[in-house]
């Protein structure tokens, strides 16, 4: 019986201490979490197990908190990591060229 301090998840009541991350078992009450395959995950576990990795920095892309990212074919980048591989100019909102696994601005890609 839940007498106080319960949590609702998928229209089901949970004791606050029973509502935990499916990965690390950390309590999620009052924390941000992500639902995957009907299970709740803390942001760290979701990032580790399921989030795509940035092609440039290799860190997870979660898009939580309004973070923006760029996706092209099978690659994804954090918005701040989507830069020319040679001159490092930002390619966000710009045209770009690809050469093997690199993305290049028009100037660097033409030379």
CATH number of 7-50: 2.10.110.10
Domain ranges of the chain: 7-50, 69-110
Residue 43: which H helix or E strand, with range? Answer: helix 43-49
What's the confidence (pLDDT) of residue 63?
64
Per-residue pLDDT of the chain (111 residues; tens, 9 = 90+): 777 778 888 888 888 889 999 999 999 988 888 889 989 999 899 988 988 899 999 998 876 666 788 999 889 999 999 999 999 999 999 999 998 878 999 999 887
What's the confidence (pLDDT) of residue 99?
86
Whether 7-50 shares its CATH topology with 69-110 is answered yes
What's the confidence (pLDDT) of residue 41?
94
Task: Tell me, yes or no, if the pTM score tops 0.85.
Answer: no
- Whole-angstrom Cα distance, residue 69 to residue 79? 5
Architecture per CATH, domain 69-110, reads as Ribbon (2.10)
User: Which residue has tokens 């660097």?
Assistant: 108
């Amino acid at each position: 019986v839940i007498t106080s301090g319960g949590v609702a998840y998928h229209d089901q009541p949970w004791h606050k201490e029973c509502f935990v991350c499916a990965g690390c078992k950390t309590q999620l009450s009052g924390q941000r979490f992500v639902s995957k395959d009907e299970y709740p995950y803390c942001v760290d576990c979701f990032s580790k197990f399921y989030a795509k990795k940035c092609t440039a920095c290799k860190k997870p892309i979660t898009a939580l908190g309004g973070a923006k990212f760029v996706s092209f074919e099978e690659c994804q980048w954090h918005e701040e990591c989507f830069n020319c591989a040679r001159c490092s100019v930002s390619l966000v909102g710009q045209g770009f060229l690809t050469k093997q696994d690199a993305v290049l601005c028009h100037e660097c890609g033409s030379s």
